[in-house]
Amino acid sequence: MTAKIITRFAPSPTGFLHIGGARTALFNWLYARAKGGEMHLRIEDTDAARSTDAAIAAILDGLAWLGIDHDGEIVFQHARADRHREAAEALLSSGNAYRCYA
């Protein structure tokens, strides 16, 4: 049994969709579609000082203009902060990670 291919595009919403982001989205989308898989969209909005709703809208508009769609719900990273914190704490508690104060 072959595992289902799932790719993702994870832009940071601090401005318009730029050529590098568009290229990454296109490559991931083409690969997922060619393999019968899915491409997910994750908005990396953890930079609260610079992330804006206008930038999110501009990125979504840019993807739509390029004809790039995504599968499933859009995931917003800020909404998963508690989940990530719990996973990090579990790794620290089990001795499988350490804090770096460099």
3-state secondary structure of 39: strand
Whole-prediction pTM value? Answer: 0.83
CATH superfamily of 6-93: HUPs (3.40.50.620)
3-state secondary structure of 92: helix
Q: Is 20's pLDDT higher than 80? A: yes
Q: Where do the structural domains in the chain lie, given as residue ranges?
A: 6-93
Q: Is 2's pLDDT higher than 90? A: no
Q: Is 1's pLDDT higher than 80? A: no
Mean pLDDT computed over 47-69: 96
Over the range 57-89, which residues count as b (16 or more CB within 10 Å of their CB) and which as e?
ebbbebbeeeebebeeeeebbeeeeeeeeeeee
